[in-house]
Structure 1
Amino acid sequence: MRASKALSFNLLVLLMGSTGAFAVDARNQSGFPNGTAQPSFLSEFRFGLSAQDPWGSEGRDDSANLTGEILLAKPFTASDLFTSYFIPRPHIGGSLNVDGNTSFAYTGLTWTFDLTPSVFVEGSLGGAVHNGKGHVNNPFSDRQSLGCSPLFRESGSVGVRLSANWSVMATVEHLSNAGTCSDNRGLTNIGARVGYSF
């Protein structure tokens, strides 16, 4: 039993070491034939907390959301640094309300712009599906009245890179049907997230 545990531990250490070495090689664009880097499918994972609609009047619940987001690698790259800023990363994420109120899942595109080597801003556009109620006069739900689903979603962030892998950011996001349904209550959340880049 003790030998089995030791073997499992050694395999885990070996796997972690080889994965780390691969990531360094990929970032340095070395270790592959003809000096080309193996493209990575995942770009970044983010998680955090947000206050749900803190400025809202109707249905204000003063509750919090757990948030998570995965950003994929850019589908292609540009040789010009300035042009590369306009190539977005696809994302998929979700926001789970801890009190059982309005939660949603979303997808879209994210553009990131570096202000300094450590400070960046970004914006994203996409769509979201939610479990909020459809109409303001729905007596069977305490969730936000968002009119219909799916909704448009946009967000903006300001972030700081703490290291090559870790970053923190403040984010505001807004969901709305942009007048495509009779009710257009909208939902605005503000929060903080931590990001880990692969």
Structure 2
Amino acid sequence: MRASTITGLSLLIALTGVSTAVAADAKRQQVANAVVEPTATVPPTTSFVSELRFGLSAEDPWGPEGRNKSANLTGEILFAKPFTASDLFTSYFIPRPHIGGSVNFEGFASFAYAGLTWTVDITPTFFVEGSFGGAIHNGEKGHLYASPDRSSLGCSPLFRESGSVGVRLAANWNLMATIEHLSNGGSCADNRGLTNIGARVGYSF
């Protein structure tokens, strides 16, 4: 009776040890699997649109249309750079494509445009910018039928250049002063051109 009891206890202890060892092995395997299992990473999202801008400008303040003190509502979309550079200096030479438009409140010359924009940081807060492209317009094209208060732009499309000085107000917002000039570059008989000055607000993505 006593021998069988001792044998049973010995068997129970042995089984308990085996069970504990098996459980420990399973735990170590789980830990090993957790260590070697690769962690899934979410790729960063990139936006096709880089920045949205809107603002107001005075139309040709030094020309015929400026005598009426007419104003424009302006809007612009800048797209992301087609590729990036490894260093900041080189990145300044890579432009952002843009499209935009200017609508005159009094029915004078309105236009749509597209081109390339180069932005250079002077400090973390201040920046300068230049752009070049082309524009189509609904303004006067010939001097023979041009009204005295209208600029004769010669033809359409035109070249468009602009320059801006800006300040970053927050992480995504900026404010800039802009001057733009449209002309046919001598490709038409009339080459008066159109120069607008204004201010714009930009929101970056």
Normalised by the length of structure 1, the TM-score is: 0.79
Q: Which residue of 2 aligns with 1:28?
A: none
1:44 and 2:54 aligned? no
| CA contact 1:49–1:191 (8 Å) conserved in 2 | yes
Query: What's the % identity of the aligned pairs?
Result: 74
Q: Which residue of 1 aligns with 2:88?
A: 81
Q: Distance in 1 between matches of 2:130 and 2:72?
A: 20
1:132 and 2:142 aligned? no
- SS in structure 2 at match of 1:54: coil
- For 2:127, which of 108, 115, 120 is the aligned residue? 120
| CA contact 1:113–1:121 (8 Å) conserved in 2 | yes
Q: Distance in 2 between matches of 1:188 and 1:71?
A: 21
Deviates more, 1:54-63 or 1:185-194: 54-63
In structure 2, stretches of 5+ residues that fail to align are 1-39
Q: Which residue of 1 aligns with 2:194?
A: 187
RMSD: 1.8
Q: Distance in 2 between matches of 1:64 and 1:130?
A: 16
In structure 1, stretches of 5+ residues that fail to align are 1-32
Deviation digits for residues 91-144 of structure 1 (CA, Å, limit 9, x no counterpart): 000000001111000000000000000100000000000001111121579642
Deviation digits for residues 137-164 of structure 1 (CA, Å, limit 9, x no counterpart): 2157964210000000000000000011
Q: Which residue of 2 aligns with 1:3?
A: none
| CA contact 1:133–1:141 (8 Å) conserved in 2 | no
Q: Distance in 2 between matches of 1:52 and 1:108?
A: 20
- SS in structure 1 at match of 2:90: helix
| CA contact 1:45–1:197 (8 Å) conserved in 2 | yes
- Tell me: CA distance 1:180–1:69, structure 2 relative to 1, closer, same or farther (3 Å): same
Q: Which residue of 2 aligns with 1:13?
A: none
Q: Distance in 2 between matches of 1:130 and 1:60?
A: 20
How far did residue 34 of structure 1 move?
5.9
How far did residue 60 of structure 1 move?
3.8
| CA contact 2:65–2:149 (8 Å) conserved in 1 | no
2:133 maps to a residue whose letter is G
Structure with the greater alpha carbon radius of gyration: 2
- Tell me: CA distance 1:35–1:82, structure 2 relative to 1, closer, same or farther (3 Å): farther
2:152 maps to a residue whose letter is S
* Count of aligned residue pairs for this structure pair: 166
1:155 and 2:162 aligned? yes
Normalised by the length of structure 2, the TM-score is: 0.77
* Greater helix share, structure number: 2
